[in-house]
Structure 1
Amino acid sequence: MGSIVLAGLRAHLLRLVLTGVVVVLSVGFTAATLILTDSLDAGSRRELAADAEGVDLSVLAPADATLTPDEVAAIAGADGVAAAAPRRELEVNTVDADGRIDPFGYARVVAAPLDADVPDDGVLLDRRSAERLGLAAGDEITVATADAAGLVALPIAGLADPSADAGDDPELTAGWDVVGEFADPPGASRVDLRLADGADAAAVRAELGAEHEVVTGAELGQRLIDQSSKQEALRVPLLVLGAVSLIVAAFVIANTFRILVAQRTRELALLRTVGATRRQVLRGVLAESVAVGLAGSLAGVAAGALTALVTGSLLDATLVLTVTGTTVAWSVVIGVVMTVGSALQPARAATRVAPLAALQAVPDGADSRRTGRARIVLGLLAMVAGTLVLLAGAASGTSGGGAGLILVVFGAAVCFLGLLILGPKVVPPLVRALGAVAARLAGGGRSTAELATANAVRNPRRVAATTAALLIGVTTVAGFLTVVESSRGSVGLVVDGRVPADFAVRTAASEPIADDVARAIEELPEIGSVVVDGDDLLAVNAADGVDGDDARAAIVAATEDHPELSVQSFAQRRADFEEDLNEAVNLVLAILALALVIAFIGIANTLSLSVHERTREIGLLRALGLTRRQTRVMLGLEAALMGAVAAVVGSAAGALFAWAAVASVQELEFVVPWCLLAVSAVVATLLGVVASIAPGQRAARTSPVMALAAD
């Protein structure tokens, strides 16, 4: 049987290529995510462990407390200690362009490690922030003191690479005296020690350990690593999005093997005739799927590693690619299991081929099987149950979503699963309806449109499976776009904090804003009204007819003696919010585009295989007068109808799921992005048309004489 499987792979190699490409894309995305996050995580671990290099012992402060200055001095003066470096990390406010303390702007101040060359009154600024802020060695960076009581200008003594824990905020490495200016309460979180030559580490540890927790440098490095889970924030959402491409790929692979089995009816029947058992036929088909899955998965891992290397280099020029055996194994297992699982049902169908089928002609692709009652009942139950959970989550309407949003996601998944189960019942009628509209609009090409519609729905299971791949992608994109536009439309509530005003005057200090400051702002001729909102916020509206920039300049001038007060324009905050939102949107859409590419390949694969099994039919139509152009148009309309159904149903489902998600979050208001949904629908339809070009060219070249002679 093994030689037969190999012969089958060689005979159907071209038909399996597109399936292999689907496996490569889906597994490649998963592998790239795992390799990239593993590489970033390994780099972070190396940097975190490096923070403990050269440390013989480290004295740790109690949980939620600090080592007082007196304790730090006593530790540094202990017998056997050659050098001590008090360590502390603080968050301080930065200063905006007006020279005011920005309550939403932060910098990270880090005490210098052992042997660090940092001047007593200067700081080292991380290179990434220096480039973004346009600062260099010799410049100054201004931050707020503890409790935002004043401003401190810190000389930049040099630039340094950001640490493993550095985020987007500036990171300042400073001596202990500088850190002490911002420490509240004063003290250190730990003290790193280097022991004198010949000192007994155990004795020093025992002496200091009587009152404090003391660890070795190796133990400190491991603790720093264990406390960091930075890359999980990147790994989880990427893997979730990657799951979308895997699901789409599963539909494409299952559909491909279903068509291959249908085309090989006579071949499989002949095997049964010469003595092959059902189990051998099943093993043969599954062996082919294992081969395709293994080859595609290995290629996917290689493509994923290359993608991770390129992406990682853009994120971190010093990144060292880390490919673990676990990542390779999981990627290959996922690809093979997905491929074999998708081919299992078609393989089982292959075992039901009777030996007498060897005497029949090649099937024309029609499927006379009706959708079973159990399938219909299961699909309806899933849709009803999912809808009820969806509505329950939408009705919760909690702040930030919370449990309600989780219910919406779960309900949407169940509801969509029910829709996929009912696909053979739902999709063909929609294709017929759209086909009827196309036929009316086709004019002289009415017969071609009617042929395309009839061909598209002759196999309900196939058209439903082909449409399902694109349906998943369109639904995901439509839902995401709707949530994004709802967030954008709700920016007045999300960003402005439900305060209807042009400007916000906020204080970064713990003391409330003085009444005389509020009165001084209200008396300005450029100001229309001032509303006190709590102790730390003034909501200010410009007077009618006054330019916003003039009103803001007047507020800044009136509060020049109060550096703790920042004047924020809500228009600017909206612009900043939308800029951040657009960056996230572009990233996610780029990832979701992979699902649409896989669906595109699925349509092309289906049409290509369909052309092969309909060789005699196409030849007969050509003999009866169907032109090459009409042949291409017919296949293009078939693909366009499938794409249009996926676009209509997917847009509607995505908008519905998005409505429930938005309703579950109190701060959001539902907005339907009609233009964007229309664009996504058009793109989905065009994907179908483009996917039909190559199969259409092949069908158009079919010779009527050769086609009618095909067996």
Structure 2
Amino acid sequence: MRAHLLRLVLTGLVVVLSVGFTAATLILTDSLDAGTRKELAADAEGVDLAVLAPSGGTMSPDEVAAVAGADGVAAAAPQGGVALHTVDDDGRIDPFASALLLAASLDTEVPDGGVLLDERSADRLGLAAGDEITVAAEGSTDLVTLPIAGLTELSADGVDDLELTAGWDLLREFADPPGASRVDLRLAGDADAAAVRAGLAAEYDVVTGSELAQQLASSSSQREALRIPLLMLGAVSLIVAAFVIANTFRILVAQRTRELALLRTVGATRRQVLRGVLAESAAIGLAGSLVGIAAGALTAQVTGSVLGESMVLTVTGATLAWSVAIGVLMTVGSALLPARAATRVSPLAALQAVPDGADSRTAGRARVVFGLLGLVAGALVLLAGAASGTSGGGAGLILVVFGAAVCFLGLLILGPKVVPPLVRVIGAVAARLAGGSRSTAELATANAVRNPRRVAATTAALLIGVTTVAGFLTVVESSRQSVDVVVDGRVPADFAVRTAADEPIPGDVTRAIEELPEVGTVVEDGTDQLAVNAADGVDSDDARAAIVAATEGHPELSVQSFAQRRAEFEEELNEAVNLVLAILALALVIAFIGIANTLSLSVHERTREIGLLRALGLTRRQTRVMLGVEAALMGAVAAVVGSVAGALFAWAAVASIDQLEFVVPWGQLVISAAVATLLGVLASIAPGHRAAMTSPVMALAAE
């Protein structure tokens, strides 16, 4: 390792990135949970005893009053929550805008009739202490305006809903039926806690403040909704990294053929050679994993700060164990086949010249058979999942994912048979377009395909990333375009008039809307919604204003624009897309390192060849161009095959989901393909500079 340290740096960096992503995901979710548990446990501070409602039920106001009036109780704070609706800009009840009214804790003071608003919602709505907020109970048409007495932090269980904190009396007015999930008690100074608990325990389940804190902390659910998708995306980077590591060790073993043969000559056994190579990979995996864990912890801390979430940086033993195990096993597993190849080196090979790394072998019969079987079997499963469509439910999508994985595995197995011909085709096109640099492009194409297995392995890393990105972009664009189709299919209208009440829309309101000159057609969609189209030539804002005026006096009727809903959906979708693409970029970065690693090692083993070309007249610029074209060809092949495979897999996924229409985002696919090709060119800069600076005399003298 000391002798080949510089060659192994990039391999170690691949391990750091892969393990770092996994560790960051585990540490982030653990830290968020720890922060949530800490906040939940803080709700029990100052509580001497807590009286719990029966499992799945609530305590009535009379029961709450009886508990609060028990001997020895100085203060009581019933706890519970009620779902509400807020109003939109028209002053109408918005059925899509929810709010949660929570009861105040023992140490929280709220004026009678007033509420505390969470700070996040206050910033979003532009409200402050002294303002008012209008709400309505679920199913009610009565609007209630509440004064905002102050601001408070979002509760530990808070999600996206607006939160209000109020006294028990105000909460009871909105609850139907009114009830408390528990009652927190503070005892008088001279009260005997055990006696009070014994007196209440005859009818209720009573716990101490510390016991309540433990229950609240344990109720914090693990953030699987965040953890599982991130780990699935991280698996993509791990797979890419495995290809890069395997390819690196394959090249290193090929370069060290003479060294390993000399070891065999002086007495090293096949087992010792195998253990030596695997020990190197294990050391790289361990070192990279430890650095990756540190990088993951830093990333988790920064991410938590950016998200603005309450978190306590938590690195558990399980996270350390899983991260190290993943890094070491991935590295050792990727190096296993190259290590076995090292054991086949004959001692007689020490008498031969140092190999130049050329390997004309493409794919044996067994590889071709297994590759074709994988392609055919995966394609059949893929088509079965797509055909299940509307009748298969979620099972169809599962079949598509499994079939795509098998099909893609078959494609990777056939890589040495498929990639070189594609490189030759694209290289021939590049040579024709190269003009005066045609000979350099032809030379680069020949060098790229001289080792089919290596070019296939190098391309595979980038191919995985491009396929994932292309498939994801296609599914997202199909979903985005299908929104209009689905919405227009269900409610083919410009506006929807919805009721938040339990009763149908009044007939006189429907007739009033139908008689508006700004309105074209009105269709009743059930009893709780009207689909309204603007008349021809009428501005949508004018039509909406007329509909709002026609529904005046009915706060339960909200007028919603489908265009606005589509825009809101697309905004949310774009945010999710940007996040996932940022994560998938990690796979492309790892593939970029793989290409750079391969070219760097290739330059090292081709030192004499490059020196000969330089001696024959190849300039430094032509040397850099040659390596750049090689890398660009690998990137282009990965871009073309990955885009096609990703689009096909996305088609099957879209076909397996009801009411989605398949749309190919040609522009985005072209951009992703261009990025993949550009990554190949960028990866060649450092190796190309090194090759160009090689002295022809020194290169020809090198062994």
Q: Scaled by the length of structure 2, what TM-score is found? A: 0.97
Counterpart position of 1:635? 627
Counterpart position of 1:42? 34
SS at match of 1:371: coil
SS at match of 1:600: helix
Counterpart position of 2:423? 431
- Per-residue CA deviation, residues 349-401 of structure 1 (Å, 9 max, x unaligned), is 11111111111111111114442222222222222222222222212224895
Q: Are the counterparts in 2 of residues 145 and 181 from structure 1 also a CA contact under 8 Å? A: no
Matched, 1:667 2:663: no
How far apart are 1:493 and its partner, in Å?
4.0
Counterpart position of 1:336? 328
Q: Are the counterparts in 2 of residues 365 and 459 from structure 1 also a CA contact under 8 Å? A: yes
Matched, 1:267 2:259: yes
Counterpart position of 1:682? 674
Matched, 1:70 2:54: no
Q: 1:400 to 1:105 in 2, by over 3 A?
A: farther
Q: Are the counterparts in 1 of residues 363 and 416 from structure 2 also a CA contact under 8 Å? A: yes
SS at match of 2:290: helix
Counterpart position of 1:4? none
How far apart are 1:451 and its partner, in Å?
1.5
Q: Are the counterparts in 2 of residues 399 and 665 from structure 1 also a CA contact under 8 Å? A: no
**Identity percentage of aligned residues:** 83
SS at match of 1:541: strand
Counterpart position of 1:122? 114
Matched, 1:546 2:534: no
The 10-residue stretch of structure 1 (270-279 or 69-78) with the greater mean CA deviation from structure 2: 69-78
Cα distance in 2, alignment partners of residues 400 and 145 from structure 1 = 39
SS at match of 2:434: helix
Counterpart position of 2:238? 246
Cα distance in 1, alignment partners of residues 663 and 125 from structure 2 = 36
Q: How does 1:671-710 map to 2 (within 5 A)?
A: 671-710=663-702
Query: Structure 1 residue aligned with 2:528, among 531, 536, 546?
Result: 536
Counterpart position of 1:385? 377
How far apart are 1:241 and its partner, in Å?
1.0
How far apart are 1:20 and its partner, in Å?
1.1
Counterpart position of 1:351? 343
Matched, 1:650 2:632: no
Cα distance in 1, alignment partners of residues 39 and 93 from structure 2 = 32
Cα distance in 1, alignment partners of residues 117 and 434 from structure 2 = 67
SS at match of 2:252: helix
Q: Are the counterparts in 2 of residues 93 and 148 from structure 1 also a CA contact under 8 Å? A: no
Q: Are the counterparts in 1 of residues 37 and 218 from structure 2 also a CA contact under 8 Å? A: no
Q: How does 1:527-606 map to 2 (within 5 A)?
A: 527-606=519-598
SS at match of 1:148: coil
How far apart are 1:25 and its partner, in Å?
1.1
The 10-residue stretch of structure 1 (231-240 or 48-57) with the greater mean CA deviation from structure 2: 48-57
Q: 1:35 to 1:495 in 2, by over 3 A?
A: farther
Cα distance in 2, alignment partners of residues 446 and 221 from structure 1 = 74
Q: How does 1:412-427 map to 2 (within 5 A)?
A: 412-427=404-419
How far apart are 1:445 and its partner, in Å?
2.6
Cα distance in 1, alignment partners of residues 270 and 435 from structure 2 = 51
Cα distance in 2, alignment partners of residues 384 and 198 from structure 1 = 80
How far apart are 1:312 and its partner, in Å?
1.1
Query: Structure 2 residue aligned with 1:82, among 74, 81, 86?
Result: 74
Q: Are the counterparts in 2 of residues 59 and 214 from structure 1 also a CA contact under 8 Å? A: yes
Letter in 1 for 2:455: V
Matched, 1:183 2:188: no
How far apart are 1:320 and its partner, in Å?
3.1
The 10-residue stretch of structure 1 (430-439 or 536-545) with the greater mean CA deviation from structure 2: 430-439
The 10-residue stretch of structure 1 (151-160 or 184-193) with the greater mean CA deviation from structure 2: 184-193
Q: Are the counterparts in 2 of residues 35 and 305 from structure 1 also a CA contact under 8 Å? A: yes
SS at match of 1:135: coil
Q: How does 1:137-286 map to 2 (within 5 A)?
A: 137-229=129-221, 231-286=223-278
Moved over 6 A (4+): none
Counterpart position of 2:449? 457
Q: Are the counterparts in 2 of residues 400 and 667 from structure 1 also a CA contact under 8 Å? A: no
- Per-residue CA deviation, residues 181-223 of structure 1 (Å, 9 max, x unaligned), is 2112222122222333454444444443444333333333333
Cα distance in 2, alignment partners of residues 192 and 119 from structure 1 = 19
Q: Are the counterparts in 1 of residues 623 and 691 from structure 2 also a CA contact under 8 Å? A: yes
Q: 1:662 to 1:375 in 2, by over 3 A?
A: same
Q: Are the counterparts in 1 of residues 36 and 310 from structure 2 also a CA contact under 8 Å? A: no
Cα distance in 2, alignment partners of residues 665 and 333 from structure 1 = 37
The alignment of Structure 1 onto Structure 2 pairs a total of residues equal to 703
Cα distance in 1, alignment partners of residues 92 and 297 from structure 2 = 46
Counterpart position of 1:308? 300
Query: Structure 1 residue aligned with 2:502, among 506, 510, 525?
Result: 510
SS at match of 1:147: coil
Cα distance in 2, alignment partners of residues 378 and 66 from structure 1 = 62
Cα distance in 2, alignment partners of residues 312 and 512 from structure 1 = 46
Cα distance in 2, alignment partners of residues 630 and 114 from structure 1 = 78
Cα distance in 2, alignment partners of residues 117 and 33 from structure 1 = 38
Q: 1:221 to 1:667 in 2, by over 3 A?
A: farther
Letter in 2 for 1:452: A
Q: Are the counterparts in 2 of residues 399 and 667 from structure 1 also a CA contact under 8 Å? A: no
Letter in 1 for 2:29: T
Q: 1:284 to 1:310 in 2, by over 3 A?
A: same
Unpaired segments ≥5 residues, structure 2:
none
Cα distance in 2, alignment partners of residues 690 and 564 from structure 1 = 60
Letter in 2 for 1:94: T
How far apart are 1:318 and its partner, in Å?
5.3
Cα root mean square deviation, aligned:
1.7
Q: Are the counterparts in 2 of residues 138 and 156 from structure 1 also a CA contact under 8 Å? A: yes
Q: 1:117 to 1:455 in 2, by over 3 A?
A: same
Cα distance in 2, alignment partners of residues 248 and 189 from structure 1 = 50
Letter in 1 for 2:226: L
Counterpart position of 1:100? 92
Q: Are the counterparts in 2 of residues 525 and 543 from structure 1 also a CA contact under 8 Å? A: yes
How far apart are 1:282 and its partner, in Å?
1.1
Q: Are the counterparts in 2 of residues 84 and 114 from structure 1 also a CA contact under 8 Å? A: yes
SS at match of 2:91: coil
Q: Are the counterparts in 2 of residues 146 and 184 from structure 1 also a CA contact under 8 Å? A: no
SS at match of 2:490: coil
Q: Are the counterparts in 2 of residues 611 and 699 from structure 1 also a CA contact under 8 Å? A: yes
Counterpart position of 1:323? 315
Q: 1:101 to 1:230 in 2, by over 3 A?
A: farther
Counterpart position of 2:2? 10
- Per-residue CA deviation, residues 483-520 of structure 1 (Å, 9 max, x unaligned), is 11111101124556721100001011111111111111
Cα distance in 2, alignment partners of residues 223 and 501 from structure 1 = 50
Q: Scaled by the length of structure 1, what TM-score is found? A: 0.96
- Per-residue CA deviation, residues 308-342 of structure 1 (Å, 9 max, x unaligned), is 11111122375432222322232122111111111
SS at match of 1:525: coil
Cα distance in 1, alignment partners of residues 192 and 401 from structure 2 = 59
SS at match of 2:694: coil
How far apart are 1:285 and its partner, in Å?
1.1
SS at match of 1:661: helix
Cα distance in 2, alignment partners of residues 106 and 530 from structure 1 = 28
Q: Are the counterparts in 1 of residues 470 and 669 from structure 2 also a CA contact under 8 Å? A: yes
Q: Are the counterparts in 2 of residues 495 and 573 from structure 1 also a CA contact under 8 Å? A: no
